[in-house]
Amino acid sequence: MDFDTNELINIFKEETADIIHAIKKNVSNFEENRLENFKAILRGLHTIKGGAASVGYTPLRDKIHEAEENLAHFKEEQNILSLGLNVLEDVLFLCDEVEDYIEGAAGAEVSESHHEQHKESGFHDFSESSSEKKIPNSDKTVNSFIRVPVERIQKNFDCISEIFLTRNQINYQVELLKKGKIDIDKICYEWDLIDSTFRKNINELEQIAMSMRMMTISSLFTRMDKTVRGYCKESNKNIRTKFFGEGTEIDKRILDGLAEPFIHLTRNAMDHGIETPAEREKAGKSLEATIEFSATIKGNEIFVTIADDGKGMDPDTIYKKAKSKGVNVSHVKNNIDKINLIFAPGFSTAAEVTDISGRGVGLDAVKTYVEDLQGNIAINTELGRGTTFILVLPLSLSVVPALLAACSGQKVAVATTDIIETRTVAKESLIINNNKKYFLRDGEYIEVIIASEYLYSDSQKNSQDAKTSLCFVKSKNKTIKAIAFDRLLANFEIIAGKLPSITKVEPFISGTTILPTGEPVFVLNLGKFMEFVEEESLEAA
């Protein structure tokens, strides 16, 4: 396939995705202005039809053409009022089919490149292929492109030209120094100015690069809408979707990583959360269930929620079930702990495995996914009223503030996200009780974990310092503990990298980074480190 055709097809796919999105919006807002929305839908379909014809997607063109014929009847103003819900539903299904077709075609493209004839056969079975496995492999093709507004690219150029000028300035100053026209003091003074310009520019470049990676969450929501609609068609449940904050921008890497847990949570809500129509009627609820998706930004975190109005979860049922499945329940103190047991490995609320959500992955897998994105997951549930899953994620993964700490003669970086406070205190001020160390912080005894007892514990270089630095960290169950390092060395921003997959490390090692001196250091997640220490001490006991 020559480049031009490929390019055309890519443009067509992108445009179509946008149009489909717009059509779906028109459908959901249909009642606001029937005629206008209807016209917009027809216009959109017509554009797709034209595009499909131009890139040679004949079956798709025919399909849309047929739909247009069916809809033409409503073009007249007097007929528009008679347009029923079923017609709108047909439009939505057509949209899904178009999306599937395009995704399928994306996967088929590779094999077509050599055999033009193959192309024909690849397209004919499109009605069957719509619900089949083509989606996973097409995801990669779809996701490896980002559409970037032109002005962001322009900003990028502006910034680069500024850096270029700054570089010339350095060069000039160094030339002067070489010729002996200025002295070291002068160049140091100049360097401070140049350096601050540099920092500003690098900051700006980073901002631009990050903004290029930002995408609205709407694509994910659209996918969920489709998942729900597909489910309703197959089951007897009637579920409506609601979306809030579709325009919220989120780092593409996080967005991509969110798809899997999101699908699982949505399926979970549809399968286990929402009751059958009969049950709903009995409970006096409206027959039509609702799943609400929302995204909001608070600070530098994004809150994504999936809320159903289903039967909710009973803490005691979960507790009993967890116990019967052999899940460790020793730490459970209250209802919140009980509910959180559903995230434990080996727990699954499904009495029977369905092909929708019982795919062998439980909510523990969802939790792992979310944690891999440096996020957190929480549940809010009320028996009879519904369940809300709340996912809290960082807006972006790239630069994180960190502290450099000394531990048994080695250096480690710790991400500051988990730390609520740091204090350097005299070692003597730690109090020992029942073999554990405590620190009196504002009238409260805080358990202290000595990092060097776990990290580099075989090292002989124990700190002789009379002081120790405590990092206070709030654990998952809201208790505060302190982790003691020998010393805190520096405050800096890092870009954490991942180790190659062949190096399996403890879960609290979130990655590595490189210090200005060129030394590599490990980056620790103190929240996870605390969990690790707790597990170790449980095992020891």
Nearer to other proteins, 456 or 492 (CB): 456
Torsion over CA: 473, 475, 478, 479 (sign): negative
3-class state of residue 496 by DSSP: coil
Nearer to other proteins, 93 or 456 (CB): 456
Considering only 14, 174, 521, 528, the residue that binds other proteins (CB under 8 A) is 521
Nearer to other proteins, 54 or 537 (CB): 537
Nearer to other proteins, 346 or 409 (CB): 409
Closest distance to other proteins from the beta carbon of 485 (Å): 12
Tell me if 284 contacts other proteins by CB under 8 A: no
Tell me if 410 contacts other proteins by CB under 8 A: yes
Q: Per CB under 8 A, which of residues 434..473 are in contact with other proteins?
A: 454-457
Query: Cβ distance 470 to 482 under 8 Å?
Result: yes
Query: Count of residues binding other proteins (CB under 8 A)?
Result: 27
Closest distance to other proteins from the beta carbon of 406 (Å): 12
Tell me if 62 contacts other proteins by CB under 8 A: no
Nearer to other proteins, 123 or 532 (CB): 532
Tell me if 540 contacts other proteins by CB under 8 A: no
Closest distance to other proteins from the beta carbon of 413 (Å): 11
Nearer to other proteins, 294 or 408 (CB): 408
Nearer to other proteins, 366 or 455 (CB): 455
CB atoms within 10 A of CB 496: 19
Tell me if 522 contacts other proteins by CB under 8 A: yes
Torsion over CA: 315, 320, 321, 325 (sign): positive
Extract the tokens encoding 412.
Answer: 């480690």
Considering only 351, 502, 540, 541, the residue that binds other proteins (CB under 8 A) is 502
At CA 514, angle to CA 465 and CA 461, rounded to 5?
25
Considering only 149, 346, 384, 520, the residue that binds other proteins (CB under 8 A) is 520
Tell me if 512 contacts other proteins by CB under 8 A: yes
Tell me if 504 contacts other proteins by CB under 8 A: yes
Closest CA to 98 of 48, 51, 29, 37: 48
Tell me if 514 contacts other proteins by CB under 8 A: yes
Which are the contacts of 318, defined by CB distance < 8 A and separation ≥ 6? 338, 339, 341, 342, 349
Tell me if 493 contacts other proteins by CB under 8 A: no
DSSP state of 131: T
Tell me if 399 contacts other proteins by CB under 8 A: no
Considering only 524, 525, 526, 530, the residue that binds other proteins (CB under 8 A) is 524
Scanning 40-48, 171-179, 376-384, 510-518 for contacts with other proteins by CB under 8 A, the matching segment is 510-518
Residue 228 CB-half CA count within 13 A: 28
Considering only 443, 478, 518, 540, the residue that binds other proteins (CB under 8 A) is 518
Tell me if 412 contacts other proteins by CB under 8 A: yes
Q: Per CB under 8 A, which of residues 82..141 are in contact with other proteins?
A: none
Measured in Å, how far apart are the chain's first and last C-alpha atoms? 65
Tell me if 413 contacts other proteins by CB under 8 A: no
Tell me if 535 contacts other proteins by CB under 8 A: no
Nearer to other proteins, 116 or 458 (CB): 458
Query: Cβ distance 55 to 5 under 8 Å?
Result: yes
Extract the tokens encoding 398.
Answer: 């790239």
Tell me if 485 contacts other proteins by CB under 8 A: no
Tell me if 11 contacts other proteins by CB under 8 A: no
Query: Cβ distance 382 to 312 under 8 Å?
Result: yes
Closest CA to 530 of 471, 477, 483: 483
- Rg, the chain, Cα only: 29
CA distance 122 to 105: 8
Maximum separation of any 2 CA atoms in the chain, in Å: 92
Closest distance to other proteins from the beta carbon of 407 (Å): 8
3-state SS track over 302-360: EEEEEEECCCCCCHHHHHHHHHHCCCCCCCCCCHHHHHHHHHCCCCCCCCCCCCCCCCC
Query: Cβ distance 224 to 266 under 8 Å?
Result: yes
Binding site for other proteins (CB under 8 A): 407, 410-412, 454-457, 497, 499-506, 509, 512-514, 518-522, 524
